[in-house]
Amino acid sequence: MGPLAGIKVVELVGLAPAPFAATVLADYGADVIRVDRVKPGFDVPVFPRDPLSRSRRWIGVDTKSPTGRDIVLRLVDEADVLIEGYRPGVTERLGLGPDDCLERNPRLVYGRVTGWGQDGPLAQSAGHDINYIGLSGALEPIGRAGERPVPPLNLLADFGGGGMLLAMGVLAALVERSVSGRGQVIDASMVDGSALLTAGMHGLRNAGLFQRGRGSNMLDGGAPFYDTYETSDGKYMAVGAIEERFWAALTKVLEIDPASVADRLDPARWSAVREVLAAVIRTRTRDEWTARAEGTDACLTPVLDPSEAPKHPHNAARGSFVSLDGDMQPAPAPRFSRSALPEPTAPVEPRSSTYDVLTELGYVPEDIDRMRTEGVVA
Give the Cβ contact number of residue 117 at 10 Å.
18
**Mean pLDDT for the stretch of residues 319-340:** 95
Q: At what angle do helices 17-27 and 165-180 cross, to 10 degrees?
A: 60
* The predicted structure's pLDDT at residue 48: 67
Q: What is the model's pLDDT at position 318?
A: 97
For the chain, percent of residues with pLDDT exceeding 70: 98
Question: What are the DSSP calls for 2-29, one per residue?
Answer: -TTTT-EEEEE--STHHHHHHHHHHHTT
Chain segment 110-127, per-residue pLDDT in tens: 999 999 999 999 999 999
In the chain, helix, strand, coil percent, each to 5? Answer: 40, 15, 45
Angstrom distance (rounded) from CA 339 to CA 260: 52
What confidence tens digit (pLDDT) does each residue in 202-223 have?
Answer: 999 898 888 889 999 999 999 9
Q: What pLDDT was estimated at residue 41?
A: 66
What pLDDT sits at residue 43? 58
Task: Indicate the range of 3-17, 32-46, 116-130 predicted with least confidence.
Answer: 32-46
Specify the pLDDT at position 208: 86
Q: Which residue has the higher pLDDT, 156 or 39?
A: 156
Single out the catalytic residue among 31, 80, 129, 158: 158
Helices (H), 149-285: 165-180, 190-197, 199-206, 244-254, 270-281
Half-sphere exposure of 42 (CA within 13 A, CB side): 0
Q: How, if at all, do strands 57-60 and 321-324 pair?
A: unpaired
β-strands 8-12, 321-324 pairing: unpaired
Using 50, 70 and 90 to split pLDDT, how confident is the model at 166? Answer: very high
Report pLDDT for 46: 62
Q: What is the pLDDT of residue 40?
A: 73
- Residue partners of 198: CB distance under 8 A and separation at least 6: 136, 137, 138
What count of Cα atoms within 13 Å lies in the side-chain half-sphere of residue 173?
A: 25
Quote the pLDDT of residue 141.
95
> Average pLDDT for residues 265-284, to the nearest whole number?
97
Question: What pLDDT is attached to residue 47?
Answer: 66
3-state secondary structure of 111: strand
Q: What confidence score (pLDDT) does residue 210 get?
A: 87
Please, which residues have CB within 8 angstroms of residue 241's CB and are 6 or more apart in sequence?
A: 225, 226, 247, 249, 250, 298, 299, 300
Please name the helix (run of DSSP H) or strand (run of DSSP E) that holds residue 68, with its range, or none.
helix 66-77
Residue-range domain boundaries for the chain: 8-197+322-374, 226-310
Sorted by sequence, the CB contacts under 8 Å of residue 339 that are 6+ apart come out as: 1, 2, 3, 5, 29
Q: Is the pLDDT of residue 293 over 70?
A: yes
Measured CA to CA in angstroms, residue 228 lies from 148, 220, 301 at distances of 18, 11, 10
The one catalytic residue among 70, 128, 187, 327: 128
Rounded Cα distance between 309 and 73, Å, is 42
Query: Does the pLDDT of residue 248 top 80, yes or no?
Result: yes
Helix (H, G, I), strand (E, B) or coil at 327: strand
Q: Where are the beta strands (DSSP E) in 78-120?
A: 81-84, 109-114
- Identify the pLDDT of residue 45: 59
8-197+322-374: CATH, from 1.20.1250.20, 2.40.110.10, 3.40.50.10540, 3.90.1150.10: 3.40.50.10540
**pTM score, whole prediction:** 0.94
Sorting pLDDT into bands at 50, 70 and 90, what band is 44? low
Mean pLDDT, the chain, integer: 95
What average pLDDT score do residues 320-333 get?
Answer: 95
The side-by-side arrangement of strands in the sheet containing 8-12 is: 57-60, 31-36, 8-12, 81-84, 109-114, 184-189
In the annotation, is 314 catalytic? no
Element (H, E) at 100: helix 98-104
117: left (phi over 0), alpha (psi -120 to 50) or beta: left
Cα dihedral 192, 198, 200, 206 sign: negative
CATH 3.30.1540.10 corresponds to the domain 226-310: yes
Quick check: 74 pLDDT over 70? yes
Comparing C-alpha atoms, which of 208, 224, 234 is closest to residue 266?
Answer: 224
pLDDT at 329: 95
pLDDT band at residue 136 under the 50/70/90 scheme:
very high
Q: Any catalytic annotation for residue 158?
A: yes
Residue 42 has pLDDT above 60, yes or no: no
